[in-house]
Structure 1
Amino acid sequence: MAKRGCPSDYLPKFADHATKLCRLGATDAEIAEFFGKDERTINRWKIDHPDFCQVLKDGKLLEAGFVEITFKLKHRELGEHQQECFVVGYVAAHELAVPRDPIAMPCEDASAISRYKIAH
């Protein structure tokens, strides 16, 4: 079944332009302004053109923060001290201005921390 409405004015070269804009820190609204389109059009292009969507995902600037926290716990009844270590972190997208994908895990689980960093 054919799509209804006007044909898309998306061109494959737009992905190259979007890559450069993302590297400069452009938001979706700024990319839409560059192309002379509405931000809804950019969102529609993301759905209709997977290559364009991937370019935007790969090119967006992300900020990550990780903190290693070490503290001592005292068992009141036994009088023993136990040292615990956790890594707490997040990834933030500049465009959304909110932390996402928080992480909290024991320091000893280095492989899980590495997998998290690689995935983001």
Structure 2
Amino acid sequence: MPKQSNYTSQIHDHIAWALAVEGKTDIQIAEVMGITERTLNNWKKTHESFFQSLKKGKSVADADVVKSLYNRAVGKVVVKNKKVTIEMDSEGNQRPARIETTEQQVPPDVTAAIFWLKNRNPAQWRDRQDVKVDNNEWVSALQSKVNGYKKGEDLSE
């Protein structure tokens, strides 16, 4: 007889969501939970709330990656705050005198842009383009020329 499942929705659904948000794979999630991947897959099939928790967590992680890839593809301005310490108090501790804010332009990344476009609209941006030739007369004439060359015929017309 198979071992009884120790699934508890109040615990396992939250753990699954949290690990999925971190970008963990199903195998990694199973390892953290102390179960096999097979058990995890069974829980997904038999416990809808568990399946939905995993699905929602993975969606959050995927959205973060999409946002990062998009920002990398188009470039962005990064604002950084830096505490400048130039004063000491009476006890010898450093006190932040002011905060400097700097902006740095991160240029677009061509590779990220290409990746984004190929996956967003593959019909238009993939490397290989399918070309359909509709002029059968032209194709037939070209084929006969090629066949003539193969036979050694003089085709200097």
Q: TM-score, normalised by structure 2?
A: 0.38
Hey, which of these two has a bigger chunk of strand by percent? 1
Larger Rg: 1 or 2?
2
Please state which structure has a larger fraction of its residues in helix.
Answer: 2
